[in-house]
């Protein structure tokens, strides 16, 4: 179905393997001029590897702009012809997959509102059977890694070989700082689970605003993401969707220029020797921490025995509150965040309860 004269497959393959892989374009294709001009101005920066545009837009509420539909597909073809940029669109149904492929869209992506729904993901996967096209899968809107992995598995089972993951943040109630909370630790877990898949950050939908985009982009680079998908528009303030978070192609280029690209690794012996020494220290401390935790659990078991003999409940809320208060105060002085201390003590406490329970049940 790739009909263009240039060896687009090679172009797509080389784009797909670029690091960093930078994907940009409008949230939505609005008119042919808007899309083509955005693409041309992006291409002129020389910093973009792939053009994105929403053609079918799943919007939260009816009455919002729901995309131009299939009539925008020839516009994408035209933008590709004029710039050489491979294209990518969001697909949510089998019909959309077919339409996109008929019009030579090079890479497809599954949006966050689709990843949550196994029926829809399966429908998309079925339409992909026998097709050789890279597919990117956004995280589901809710923080559920199993659902995200499930979508990946459905697409893998359809025979798709090249799969990318897009981290666009997670919905949360009453969040003001981000449009979608990044929950970086969840994303990192997913990245570690699928190390062979390009891992792309979408700061536009995480931030929902322009002024914090750069920080989020830098954070993603620091966490060794393989690429970024950022929305851009020739006239961001007047965009028909997601106006607050889009930037002009030129502003995007400026932001990309100001990022600090850190290397994952370097080849200097000196650096490796220094790092190795520090890692040894970390290993040593981790061993000590585990021995201490083991001792702590032995004491918990003694307490368990005492509670058993005196028929006292395991959980004593007052005592627990006292532990947390003490720890957060001390932790603060040691530069440990309250959030970490609370999560750490929750885990320790749960383990402690399990040890005590074993004694009580014995």
Q: Which residues bind ligand PEP (CB under 6 A)?
A: 27, 54, 111-113, 138, 168, 205
Give me the least distance between CB of 113 and ligand PEP, in Å please: 6
Residue 89 interacting entry, from Mn ion, ligand PEP, none, C-beta within 5 to 8 Å by type: none
Name 278's Cβ contacts closer than 8 Å, sequence gap at least 6.
Answer: none
- Hey, what are 341's tokens? 């201390």
Nearer to Mn ion, 92 or 158 (CB): 92
247 near Mn ion, judged by CB under 5 A: no
Nearer to ligand PEP, 168 or 355 (CB): 168
- Which one, of 208, 255, 251, lies nearest residue 228 by Cα? 255
Q: Determine the Cα–Cα distance for residues 157 and 272; give it in Å rounded to an integer.
A: 41
Contacting range for Mn ion; rule: CB under 5 A; set: 209-217, 241-249, 252-260, 268-276? 241-249
Give me the least distance between CB of 85 and ligand PEP, in Å please: 17
Q: Which residue is nearest to ligand PEP (CB)?
A: 111
Residue 191 interacting entry, from Mn ion, ligand PEP, none, C-beta within 5 to 8 Å by type: none
Whether residue 241 contacts residue 208, with contact meaning beta carbons closer than 8 Å, is answered with no
Q: Determine the Cα–Cα distance for residues 286 and 223; give it in Å rounded to an integer.
A: 23
Nearer to ligand PEP, 41 or 167 (CB): 167
Of 242, 246, 300, 355, which one interacts with Mn ion (CB under 5 A)? Answer: 242
Give me the least distance between CB of 269 and ligand PEP, in Å please: 44
Q: Judge if the upstream peptide bond of residue 20 is cis by omega within 30 degrees of 0.
A: yes
Nearer to ligand PEP, 80 or 167 (CB): 167
Nearer to ligand PEP, 70 or 359 (CB): 70
Contacting range for Mn ion; rule: CB under 5 A; set: 26-34, 192-200, 339-347, 354-362? 26-34
Strands 199-201 and 50-52: unpaired
Name 228's Cβ contacts closer than 8 Å, sequence gap at least 6.
Answer: 20, 21, 22, 23, 200, 201, 202, 203, 217, 220
Contacting range for Mn ion; rule: CB under 5 A; set: 27-35, 62-70, 163-171, 275-283? 27-35
Nearer to ligand PEP, 25 or 331 (CB): 25
Give me the least distance between CB of 100 and ligand PEP, in Å please: 15
Give me the least distance between CB of 209 and Mn ion, in Å please: 13
As a whole number of Å, the end-to-end CA separation of the chain is 68
Nearer to ligand PEP, 121 or 341 (CB): 121
Residue 111 interacting entry, from Mn ion, ligand PEP, none, C-beta within 5 to 8 Å by type: ligand PEP
Give me the least distance between CB of 186 and Mn ion, in Å please: 21
Of 8, 12, 22, 27, which one interacts with Mn ion (CB under 5 A)? Answer: 27
Q: At what angle do helices 145-157 and 118-128 cross, to 10 degrees?
A: 20
Nearer to Mn ion, 138 or 355 (CB): 138
Interacting residues with Mn ion (CB under 5 A): 27, 242
């Amino acid at each position: 179905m790739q009909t263009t004269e240039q060896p687009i497959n090679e172009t797509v393959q080389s784009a797909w393997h670029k690091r960093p892989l930078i994907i940009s374009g409008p949230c939505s294709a609005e008119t042919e001029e808007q899309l083509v001009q955005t693409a041309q101005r992006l291409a002129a920066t020389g910093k973009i590897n792939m053009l994105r545009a929403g053609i079918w837009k799943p919007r939260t509420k009816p009455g919002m702009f729901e995309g131009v539909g299939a009539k925008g597909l020839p516009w994408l073809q035209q933008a590709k012809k004029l710039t050489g940029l491979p294209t990518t669109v969001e697909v949510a149904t089998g019909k959309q997959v077919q339409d996109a492929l008929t019009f030579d869209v090079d890479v497809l992506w599954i949006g966050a509102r689709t990843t949550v729904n196994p029926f829809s993901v399966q429908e998309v996967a079925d339409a992909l059977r026998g097709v050789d096209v890279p597919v990117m899968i956004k995280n589901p809107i809710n923080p559920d890694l199993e659902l995200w992995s499930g979508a990946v598995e459905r697409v893998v089972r359809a025979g798709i070989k090249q799969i990318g993951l897009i981290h666009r943040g997670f919905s949360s109630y009453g969040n003001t700082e981000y449009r979608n909370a990044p929950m970086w630790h969840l994303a990192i877990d997913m990245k570690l689970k699928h190390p062979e898949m390009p891992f792309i950050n979408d700061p536009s939908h995480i931030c929902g605003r322009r002024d914090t985009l750069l920080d989020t982009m830098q954070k993603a680079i620091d966490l060794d993401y393989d690429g970024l998908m950022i929305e851009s528009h020739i006239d961001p303030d007047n965009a028909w969707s997601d106006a607050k978070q889009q930037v002009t192609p030129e502003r995007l280029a400026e932001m990309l220029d100001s990022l600090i690209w850190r290397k994952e690794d370097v080849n200097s012996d000196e650096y490796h020797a220094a790092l190795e020494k520090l890692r040894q220290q970390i290993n040593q401390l981790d061993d000590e921490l585990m021995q201490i935790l083991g001792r702590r659990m032995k004491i918990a078991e003694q307490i368990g025995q005492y509670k058993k003999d005196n028929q006292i409940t395991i959980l004593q809320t007052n005592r627990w509150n006292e532990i947390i208060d003490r720890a957060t105060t001390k932790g603060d002085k040691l530069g440990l965040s309250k959030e970490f201390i609370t999560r750490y003590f929750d885990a320790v406490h749960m383990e402690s309860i399990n040890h005590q329970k074993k004694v009580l049940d014995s």
